Amino acid sequence: MIVRVTTTGNIRATRMQHGRAANEGRDNVKCNPKTAPAALIGALGLMVGAMSAGIAEDIKIGVVLGYTGPIESLTPDMAESAEHALQEASDSGILLGGAMLESVRGDSTCIDSAAATAAAERLITSDNVAAIMGADCSGVTTAIANNTAVPNGVVMVSPSATSPALSTIEDNGYFFRTAPSDARQGEVLASILVDRGIMDVAVTYTNNDYGKGLADSFESAFTGMGGAVSAVAPHEDGKADYSAEVAALSASGSGHLAVFGYVDQGGKGIIQTSVDTGAFENFILADGMIGQTLIDSVGSDLDGHAIGTLPGSDSQGAADFVALARENGLTGDCPFCGESYDAAALIVLAMQAAGSADRAAIQGKIMDVANGPGEPIGPGELAKGLQILADGGEVDYVGATNVELTEVGETYGSYKELEIQNGEFVTIQIR
């Protein structure tokens, strides 16, 4: 939801600290992807030797999320969900013949690319993590992938970075995500509108990577399906007054306004002003706009007049994950928690499938365990999956969010089609 905030904030305080840590760790061995295949065989041999000798050391997994910054309220739950998957694998006693996993947290800050890169660099070179679960926001995720994870040949599995740009980065196959690209959400929104016979809309988006990317993908999908976008206007978050934006949009003459913004920011202001001035009565909301605060502040005028999409599904996996989380004292139905659990689970299963905690070996197996053929593995069934892999079988990880990766390593994603009815968001169907 709010995870794609790429606002230009100014949390710089942690940079010094991280920078120093990264420098200290810099003289550690780096694993260059080009020389990796040669080193791989040796490493494999070493690992097997170590395992058979029964002195398996803890394997470290990086959990890089924005523990400070604009989404700091979401990340603790996300981290705990991911760490629960690691714990489950360690407890099974089957992972690589009884290896234990250790989580090492790094702060992505969500918005400060330099601090995020330094934190990831420290995990990779100094803590020597086998893979990274993270990062969270699109901007810092791109920075970490480009600057340190990909050059060092470390797998990254992001639970929440949704920028379409991440589909096409030069990742040498090391970047994966259990969150769908926003390009997909644009298509889903467009098809919902076409199905409902809405063929003419005005669009406003929050002026950042998230809003622009979503607006672009929506516009191209919608016009491709025969719809017309009468006006596209960005809005800045954090302003007191959106009457000029709404006035300009209303001149388009469209009856529907698509708002790709944030529910606690400009998006709410746009909708409030539209309702107040009678400029628009019907709204189309993207995931950043889904929140009860919208209904609470705008009121009953939205009943039956707003439709939206939110990543998620009502699959068995999602329900199982919430139940699993509750049993273990976690929140469960928090934003991106299922995705976080799945991201960590993919790393664990790939490690088992590779028979090694080697970085490149993990990379080679992620796609195999995420997609079929094989035994479907749901949340809480990691031990079962690890056992099948140990016995030489194949698994198809389904997890909390129906994980199925595209050829560029991101989920297709399923979305809830929502509508506001009687003062709350109601799920109409899953797309």
Partner 1 sequence: MEDILNAVVLLSNFVVVPALAYGSQLALGALGVTLIYGILRFANFAHGDLMAFGTMFVVMATWWMQGAGLSIDPLPTALLALPFGIAAAVAVSLLTDRAVYRFYRRNKSPAMIFVIVSIGVMFLMNGVVRMVIGPDDRSFGDGARFLIKVKEFREATGLSEGLALKLSQGLTIAVTVAVVVALFRFLQKSRTGKAMRAYSDNEDLALLSGVSPDRVVLFAWAIAGTLATIAGTLYGLDKSFKPFTYFQLLLPIFAAAIVGGIGHPVGAVVGGYIVAFSEVTVTYAYRKFLIYVAPESWRPEGLVQLLSTEYKFAVSFVILVVVLLVRPTGIFRGKVI
Interface region with partner 1, contact rule CB under 8 A, candidates 32-40, 211-219, 242-250, 338-346: 242-250
In terms of CB distance, is 276 or 424 closer to partner 1?
Answer: 276
In terms of CB distance, is 136 or 245 closer to partner 1?
Answer: 245
In terms of CB distance, is 251 or 430 closer to partner 1?
Answer: 251
Contacts of 23-32 with CB under 8 Å at 24 or more apart are 24/126, 25/121, 25/122, 25/125, 25/126, 25/127, 26/121, 26/125, 28/125, 28/126, 28/128, 30/125, 30/151, 30/152, 31/152, 31/153, 31/154, 31/359, 31/360, 32/151, 32/152, 32/153
Minimum separation from the CB atom of position 403 to partner 1 (A): 37
- Restricted to residues 67-126, the positions that interact with partner 1 (CB under 8 A) are none
- Restricted to residues 222-241, the positions that interact with partner 1 (CB under 8 A) are 231, 233-236, 238-241
By CB under 8 A, residue 9 contacts partner 1: no
By CB under 8 A, residue 278 contacts partner 1: yes
In terms of CB distance, is 231 or 319 closer to partner 1?
Answer: 231
- Quick one: which of 234, 147, 225, 220 has its CA closest to 182? 220
In terms of CB distance, is 266 or 332 closer to partner 1?
Answer: 266
Minimum separation from the CB atom of position 425 to partner 1 (A): 22
Q: Identify the residue among 247, 323, 428, 430 touching partner 1 (CB under 8 A).
A: 247
Residues in contact with partner 1, counted by CB under 8 A, come to a total of 26
Q: Round to whole Å and give the CA distance between 75 and 55.
A: 34
CB 196 within 8 A of CB 376: no
Looking from the CA of 123 toward its CB, the CA atoms found within 13 Å total: 33
By CB under 8 A, residue 293 contacts partner 1: no
CB 299 within 8 A of CB 417: no
Minimum separation from the CB atom of position 241 to partner 1 (A): 4
By CB under 8 A, residue 296 contacts partner 1: no
The pair of three-digit structure tokens given for residue 115, joined into one six-digit string: 């601090």
By CB under 8 A, residue 252 contacts partner 1: yes
In terms of CB distance, is 27 or 296 closer to partner 1?
Answer: 296
395-397 and 415-421 beta bridge pairing: unpaired
Q: Identify the residue among 106, 139, 269, 385 touching partner 1 (CB under 8 A).
A: 269
DSSP codes, 227-290: -EEEEEEEE-TT-S--HHHHHHHHTT--SEEEEES-TTTHHHHHHHHHHHHTS-SEEEE-GGG-
Minimum separation from the CB atom of position 238 to partner 1 (A): 7
Binding residues for partner 1 (CB under 8 A): 207, 231, 233-236, 238-241, 243-253, 269, 276-279
